[in-house]
Amino acid sequence: MANITPRKNKDGIITSYTIRVYHGYDSSGKRLKPYTMSWKPDPKMTAKQIEKELNRQAVQFEEQFRAGYALDNRQTFAEYAEYVLKCKADSGTKRRTIERYTTLLGRINAGIGHIKLADLRPQHLNNFYSQLRQAGIRQNASTATPIVDLKAFLKEKGITKIQLSEASGVSLTTLSTVFKMKSISGANADKISKALKTPTKKLFKVEQDNRPLSEKTVREHHRLISLILSQAEKEMIVQYRNHPSIILWGVRINESQDDDVFYRETNRVAHELDDTHATGGVRMLKKSHLLEDVYTYNDFLHDGRHPGCNPKRKVTPDMKKPYLISEYNGHMFPTKPFDDEEHRTEHAIRHANVLNAVAQEPDIAGSFGWCMFDYNTHKDFGSGDRICYHGVMDMFRNPKLAAAVYSSQQEDTPVLELSSSMDIGEHPGGNRSGNWMITNADAVRMYKNSKLIKEYHREDSPYRALAHGPIPVNDFIGNAIVENEPMKPKQARLMGQLLNMTAYYGLNNLPAKFYLLALRLMVCYHMKPKDAVALYTRYVGDWGTTSTVYKFEAVRDGKVVKTVIKEPMQQAHLEVKVSAHNLTEGRTYDMAAVRIRALDENGNVLGFFNEPVQFEVKGVLELIGPKTICLQGGMGGTYVKTTGQAGEGILTIENAQTGKICEHFQVAREE
Residues acting as catalytic residues: 255, 327
Cα distances from 522 to residues 246, 480, 510, 517, 526, in angstroms, run 65, 20, 17, 9, 5
Map residue 116 onto helix, strand or coil.
strand
- Give the chain's radius of gyration (CA, Å): 34
Map residue 99 onto helix, strand or coil.
helix
Cβ neighbours, 10 Å, residue 176 = 12
With 0-12 CB in 10 A as exposed, 13-18 as middle and 19+ as buried, what is 552?
buried
Distance, C-alpha 475 to centroid of its chain: 38
Cβ neighbours, 10 Å, residue 234 = 17
Edge-to-edge strands of the sheet including 282-283? 282-283, 295-298, 323-327
Distance between CA 149 and CA 123 in Å, rounded?
48
Q: Identify whether the C-beta of residue 386 lies closer than 8 Å to the C-beta of residue 378.
A: yes
With 0-12 CB in 10 A as exposed, 13-18 as middle and 19+ as buried, what is 12?
exposed
Distance between CA 173 and CA 579 in Å, rounded?
64
Q: Identify whether the C-beta of residue 635 lies closer than 8 Å to the C-beta of residue 597.
A: yes
Distance between CA 665 and CA 580 in Å, rounded?
8
Give the chain's end-to-end CA distance (angstroms, integer): 14
DSSP notation for 578-636: ES-SEEEESSS--EEEEEEEEE-TTS-B-TT---EEEEEEEESEEEES-SEEE-BTTEE
Q: Which residues pair with 650 in a beta bridge?
A: 618, 664
Distance between CA 82 and CA 102 in Å, rounded?
9
Distance between CA 2 and CA 546 in Å, rounded?
65
DSSP notation for 407-468: HTT-SSS--EEES----GGGSGGG--TT-EEEE-SSEEEEEETTEEEEEEEGGG-S-TTSTT
